[in-house]
Amino acid sequence: MVIVIFFSSCKDKEYAIPLPKTGLNNDCIKRSLGPNIVGMNIEFTYAMALPNATGKLVSSQVEATIAGATGTYLENKSYYTNGSGVDVGIVVGNPSVTTSTKTEVIFSKDTCASTLRYFYYIPEEARGKSVSFTFSAKSSDGESVSYTMGPYVISKMDMKLDLVLSDNNNSYLSIADMAVYNSAAAVANADKIDLVYLYRAITGITFLHSLVSPANTEYLPGVTLPAGVTKSTKVSKAWSLRDFNLARLQYGVYIDDVDFDVIDLKDAPNYAINTKAEAGVWVETADGKYRAYVYVNKVDNTTKTMTVSIKRLQVK
């Protein structure tokens, strides 16, 4: 019996330089992160290219399923980063024209490759709904391509940034109105005042910057409440919750609609004393209609002021 064993060697495939794709191609990425809040942008970058010998880009268009609010635009500049790390824009097209759901840029320079940024300014009509986007491009050789992004759910929440509360002056905070009132305006809006801001430097205890329900007079020393301001609002202190949209710091933490749905504030007290900068409080209004997160951007012991930013969701 003869056993014949064959050996064969594997030859590595020769490395070949990859061939570029032919024809018009595109790609898209969503750049913005976190909840899609009405009044903010959803940002995309849309890349289009075709081989130089084949032709040049003619136009680029984005179609949204719900028309963007005024301020929605497709960038008409291509950017490169210079030696100093700064993004420099080069005009490659006419300023974008938005008609209802479509935003279009016609290229004005001969270019076979370009990446354009698209900013969709979220309209009120989109609140709580889903939005999808179709990015498309046309080239001079008659080709067209498209790329669909989404659907993206638009948040139901509201946001208000940088409200300044000051002790014994503009110290009445309304979650319903997302506004700050002084005592005269507080009388006119008595049924909307949820919290009172006060600053007290009392020796022996740490009171400092505080948010207290009008109903809890024990923690409102030296405050004379306007008539009718009597609510008891649930307040629960939070630490290190630097929501990116509110704090605008380097922390990538986002409060979304679902956080307001799951938070349990039924046993929470109705006051929070000694609140600090970069901390915050979860709030539920007396009627249970709104839940909010009030983030403390900064406090000032000299001017006795506190700057807050609020995210709020109507839960009832």
Partner 1 sequence: MLITSRAQCYVSNFELLGSDFQTVRTQAPVIDTTALTINTIVFYGTDLKNLYPQFSLVTDAKLDPKIIGKVDFSDLANPKKYTVISGNRQVKKTYTVYITVQPKP
Q: Would you count residue 239 as binding partner 1 (CB under 8 A)?
A: yes
Q: Would you count residue 8 as binding partner 1 (CB under 8 A)?
A: no
Q: Would you count residue 219 as binding partner 1 (CB under 8 A)?
A: yes
Sole residue written with tokens 């301020």? 71
Contact region with partner 1 (CB under 8 A), list: 48-56, 75-83, 204-212, 303-311: 204-212
- Least separation in angstroms between residue 159's CB and partner 1 is 22
Please name the residues in contact with 11: beta carbons below 8 A apart, sequence gap of 6 or more. none
- Give the strands of the sheet with 172-174, arranged side by side: 179-181, 172-174, 195-200, 208-212, 271-272
- Least separation in angstroms between residue 101's CB and partner 1 is 45
In the list 202, 258, 301, 303, the residue contacting partner 1 (rule: CB under 8 A) is 202
Q: Would you count residue 293 as binding partner 1 (CB under 8 A)?
A: no
In the list 138, 237, 304, 312, the residue contacting partner 1 (rule: CB under 8 A) is 237
Supply 137's token pair. Answer: 């491009």
In the complex with partner 1, the residue whose CB is nearer, 28 or 238, is: 238
Q: What is the DSSP string of 171-230?
A: -EEETTTTEEE-HHHHHHTGGG--EEEEEE--TTS--EEEEE-TT-GGG-TT--PPTT--
In the list 79, 121, 207, 244, the residue contacting partner 1 (rule: CB under 8 A) is 207
In the list 40, 67, 268, 296, the residue contacting partner 1 (rule: CB under 8 A) is 268
In the list 85, 142, 204, 252, the residue contacting partner 1 (rule: CB under 8 A) is 204
Q: Would you count residue 201 as binding partner 1 (CB under 8 A)?
A: no
- According to DSSP, the residues that pair with 199 across neighbouring strands are 209
Under DSSP, the state recorded for 239 is S
Q: Would you count residue 203 as binding partner 1 (CB under 8 A)?
A: yes
Q: Would you count residue 238 as binding partner 1 (CB under 8 A)?
A: yes
Q: Would you count residue 160 as binding partner 1 (CB under 8 A)?
A: no
- According to DSSP, the residues that pair with 148 across neighbouring strands are 134
Q: Would you count residue 118 as binding partner 1 (CB under 8 A)?
A: no
What is the contact surface with partner 1 in residues (CB under 8 A)? 202-207, 210, 219, 236-239, 267-269, 271, 273-274, 279
